[in-house]
Amino acid sequence: MTLAPVPPQSVLLISLDSCRFDTFQRAQIPHLKRVGPLHKAIAPSYFTYGSHAAFWMGFTPGVTGSRTPWLNPKLGKLFRMAKDANRDNPGPDHFVLQGRSIVAGFRALGYYTLGSGAVQWFDPAIETSQLLTQDFEDFWYANATWNLTEQLHWIAAQLHDNAGDRPVFTFLNIGETHVPYWHQGASWEPWPSPCTPFGGPHASARQSRLRQRRCLEWIDQQLPALLQAFAEATIVICADHGDCWGEQGLWEHGISHAKTLTVPLILRVDGQPVAEIQARRRVLQRR
């Protein structure tokens, strides 16, 4: 798959569904880690719908204790919803948007907005899911948690056929890191899952850790073309939440726990990887 470079004002937001921070940290994922330094962040919620609904309001995962805007949204947001997107001094916020979501805000600015989701929260046929998908110009529900190859082909086709010269906001929810932790061509069967609510006879923290890491490493090999197309633009790579693997007797997500709230975060803004000191210097330069 080949993709032409997108305009530098463009944005790519990738959510690795259910991916734990320690999985990302330990995995051999050179393409993802090349985007920028890894930050240990706190997700806005402990399940898919809650976190993505927050993302659409500009509440991306934040780094606790950071004094750097964008990494810590309390100091300055990468995506700011505002009544007046044309104010002269937006402060340390980067994209200032108007509308009912950041997706609608980008669309109002003339961006081509497209997205694809892997988990059922993004099924437009379900009424509640429409709140997450309705503002996109084009959206495709993958109808399986292990359909990344087809998602990437769909995104490439839409960018080729519909984007034209417009900047783009592209969203990709990846499901292979979601239970049952399986990818196309994997050497193990998807079911039974090693991570199930309340544990059970097949629950295994060791297998959960191994399989999620292998899924993430497989994902990394599928993404170079997409990441390269946005290399001079803005890229957000994060998880919406993590999973529990037996900590305090808890399993999976949908529960408030350190393991479900601690997620990986990588930022590349305007083609530049965001580290603490880099972001601080660039904010000062913008004032």
In the chain, the domains with their CATH numbers are 19-247+263-286 (3.40.720)
Residues 62 and 71 sit within 8 Å (Cβ to Cβ): yes
pLDDT for 104 equals 98
Q: Going by C-beta distance under 8 Å and a sequence separation of 6 or more, which residues neighbour residue 231? A: 5, 268, 271
Query: In angstroms, rounded to a whole number, what is the distance separating the alpha carbons of residues 97 and 238?
Result: 21
Torsion sign over Cα 49, 168, 100, 63:
positive
Question: Which regions of the chain does DSSP assign to beta strands (E)?
Answer: 11-16, 39-42, 79-81, 95-97, 112-117, 138-141, 168-174, 234-238, 244-245, 251-252, 262-269, 272-273
Query: In angstroms, rounded to a whole number, what is the distance separating the alpha carbons of residues 165 and 161?
Result: 11
pLDDT for 83 equals 67
Query: In angstroms, rounded to a whole number, what is the distance separating the alpha carbons of residues 71 and 77?
Result: 8
pLDDT for 266 equals 98
Query: In angstroms, rounded to a whole number, what is the distance separating the alpha carbons of residues 59 and 48?
Result: 14
Q: Going by C-beta distance under 8 Å and a sequence separation of 6 or more, which residues neighbour residue 287? A: 91
Residue 177 burial (C-beta neighbours within 10 Å; 0-12, 13-18, 19+)? buried
Predicted confidence pLDDT, tens digits, the chain (287 residues): 679 999 999 999 999 999 999 999 999 999 999 999 999 999 999 999 999 999 999 999 999 889 999 999 988 999 999 865 455 544 589 999 999 999 999 999 999 999 999 999 999 999 999 999 999 999 999 999 999 999 999 999 999 999 999 999 999 999 999 999 999 999 999 999 999 999 999 999 999 999 999 999 999 999 999 999 999 999 999 999 999 999 999 999 999 999 999 999 999 999 999 997 554 455 444 44
Total-model pTM: 0.94
For residue 188 the two structure tokens come to: 């193990």
Mark residue 237 as left, alpha or beta (left: phi above 0; alpha: psi -120 to 50; beta: remaining).
Answer: beta
Query: In angstroms, rounded to a whole number, what is the distance separating the alpha carbons of residues 144 and 117?
Result: 9
Helix 205-222, helix 148-158: angle, nearest 10: 30
Residues 48 and 119 sit within 8 Å (Cβ to Cβ): yes
- End-to-end, the C-alpha distance of the chain in Å comes to 40
Torsion sign over Cα 86, 90, 95, 101:
negative
pLDDT for 261 equals 98
Question: Which regions of 154-255 does DSSP assign to beta strands (E)?
Answer: 168-174, 234-238, 244-245, 251-252
Residue 23 burial (C-beta neighbours within 10 Å; 0-12, 13-18, 19+)? buried
pLDDT for 282 equals 53
